[in-house]
Structures are given as C-alpha cells and as structure tokens.
Structure 1
Amino acid sequence: MAYRQGLDAETVLQAAIEMADLQGVEQLTLAALAAKLNVKTPSLYNHIKGLPDLRKQLSRRGLVLIKEAMVEAAIGKAEDDALLAAGFAYVMFARKQPGLYEAISSLPDYEDPELQEAGSQVVLFILRILAPYGLSEEDALHVVRGFRSMVHGFASLEHRNGFRMELERDESLRRLLQTYLRGLRVAVK
C-alpha cells in the first residue's frame, strides 16, 4: 500500500492531538482522524497499530509534555517557588491541551513500560524539587501523591465547569498551592 506523501506517524499523532483537544479523547475515532487527514482509515495502519495504540501514544506524549511544561516553569526556582510554578504549569497544561490531559488522566494501560517510564519521569521531577525539604523517600512520595491529587482535582473541576463563581481561578489555585506548601513546611520541621 502506498503512503500518502507527507503523512507519517508524527503527522498522524499531531492530528489526533488537535482532535482530542477540540472534541475530547473519547470522541476520537480512526474514521474521523482519517477524514481529517484526507486518507482512508486503513491508511492509518501504516503509522499506528489501531485506536488503543493511538491512545497510548497520546497518553505518552501528554506525560512527556506536561513534565516539560513543569520543568520549564520551575527552571531557576527552588523549593516552594519551584513547586508552586510546577503546580501552575500542570493546570495551565490541562487548560491549553484538554484532550491530551484527558489522555493522561485515563491511561489506557498502566502496565505498559513506555507509559510507566513517562509517568516515572514526572514523579522523579517532583521528587527532585522536594529533595531540599529533607523528606524520607516514603514521605516524599506521599507529598507527590498529594500534590498530584490537588492539581489534578483543580484541573478536572475547572475543565468540567466546576468553578462557576465570579472569582479569579488562578488566585484560588495560588492559595490552594500555598496552603499545601505551608502544611508541607510544618510537616518537615
């Protein structure tokens, strides 16, 4: 079968990301993706192994990009400032790339080594931020879990229009993160 000139795995993935961000990852189908790319659905199989593979690729790309966003936000910062910046970057990523964030939130296969590695890189980055706090490994992992629960919960509520009051959401996020950081400071004393 001939490949359409200019169509490659990256082009397919980028089109899928655009569709997921506009319509939601659950609405993404191979037929719709093929139509967007102006090819027949079977042509996609030259670049992906099917819808489960595409969703895995979306999840992996999302994990890589959310980590990159947090790293970029935290560069030049340390401790509280770095964690605050990483928290904001997490929520901003969810705002800017809602479909890709949804792909992260609903990982298709928790046992997949590529997804485990990408997820581990996110955790390791937060652990590096936490290193100056002098936490034990177990305590640091609990802090990472709490941090993720907090920013994921905020991003999810925001995405589902859970914040309807006329109140600045970024200010709410800042206060939430600062409260968490104050609690962390008390815990490490």
Structure 2
Amino acid sequence: MSPRVGLEKKVILKAAADIANTDGIDSLTITTLAVKLNIKPPSLYNHVKNLHDLRKQLAVYGLEQLYFTLNESIEGLKGDKAVKALAWAYVTFVRTHPGLYSISLSAPDPEDKTLYEAGERVVTLALEALEPFEFEKEEALHVVRGLRSILHGFASLEQNGGFGLNLSTDESMSLLLDAYLLGIHTKQNHC
C-alpha cells in the first residue's frame, strides 16, 4: 500500500502536536490522529510503525521546533542578552506548545541517533549563548544544566498552576534570570 497523496510526515507531526498541545500527550493515539487528519487509522501505518514510533518522531519534531525557536531568539546576541532571550524563548515555547514540550523532555537515548542529535543541537545552542563567559567545557555543561533546570522548573510550575499568588509570572521570571546571571558573573570573578 502506498502512502496517501498529500499526507506528509510534517503534516502528520503538526497534527499530532496540535492534539498533544490541546488535549495532552496521553490523548494522542493513532485513532485520534487519524480522526484529526480525516483519514482511516491504517493509513497512518504507511508513515509510522506504531504509537511508540509516532511519539518518538514527535519528540524529535518537538526538539527541532524548540531549537528553531531558541536559535531565532538569540540571533546576533551574546552574553547576558543571549541568555535572557534564550530563556524567554524557552518559557514561551512551553507556554504555547505544552504537549510538544512534554514529549520532548526526557534525556535522549544515545543509541537513538535521531533523537540524541536533536537534543544535542539544543544543548550546543545553549553552550554557544554562554561562550562569552569563557567557561571550560565541563563547567559550561553544568551551567547549561542549571539554566535548563531553572527554566523547566519555572515553566512546569507555571503550566501546572503552581504559582497561585496574584503576582506577575513574567516579573518573577525576570528576577530569576537576573539572579542566575548574577551568579554566573560572581563565579567568573572568583575564578
């Protein structure tokens, strides 16, 4: 059976992302995706092996979309400005693509080259944003882990209604980034 004309991988992944973003990743099944695409479920098996394969492809797609978003945000920026732009782009991505972000969260399996490389591109981009701080490679990776932890924690709390006080989450985010950058500068001055 040949693939349906007009049904491309990108169309399938965009529709899968829409379901995940709107209804949550657990709502994404072969059937719900087929309904969204207005096709019969068996037609999807020309493009994906099974639900696990679909979710893996969606995780790669999510990491690619995150990379493009972050890359665009820091274009032409360095140092503090690049870190802040990257951080805001990250949190905005989670706000607008919660399901896609959720599926792309886990550390990629080094045995799965496609997923691993997609994740590595995001890490490399964060390392490039931090280049002006002149950290040694291993230290820079720790700093990226710290930034990712801060951003993921903030975005996850916000996404799950964890900020119940009537205060601007954007202002909280700004203060958090300022404190993080102050810590980086303080560490630089003591090396």
State the TM-score, normalizing by the size of structure 1. Answer: 0.94
Give a deviation string over 1:105-161, Cα, whole Å, max 9, x none: 246856311111011111111111111111111110100000000001111111111
Confirm or deny: 8 A CA contact 2:108 2:115 kept in the other structure: no
Would you identify which runs of 4 or more consecutive aligned residues in structure 1 move more than 6 Å? none
CA RMSD after TM alignment? 1.5
> Equivalent residue for 2:11?
11
CA distance in 2, matches of 1:128, 1:109: 23
1:82-93 alignment to 2 at 5 Å?
Answer: 82-93=82-93
> Equivalent residue for 1:57?
57
Change (3 A) 1:31 1:97: same
Letter aligned with residue 54 of structure 2: L
1:60-139 alignment to 2 at 5 Å?
Answer: 60-106=60-106, 109=109, 111-139=111-139
SS of 2:104's equivalent? helix
> Equivalent residue for 1:34?
34
Equivalenced residues, count: 189
Confirm or deny: 8 A CA contact 2:34 2:44 kept in the other structure: yes
Change (3 A) 1:38 1:77: same
Percent identity over the alignment is 47
CA distance in 1, matches of 2:2, 2:152: 43
Unaligned runs of 5+ in 1: none
CA distance in 2, matches of 1:106, 1:145: 13
Change (3 A) 1:78 1:164: same
CA distance in 2, matches of 1:76, 1:133: 16
State the TM-score, normalizing by the size of structure 2. Answer: 0.93
SS of 1:105's equivalent? coil
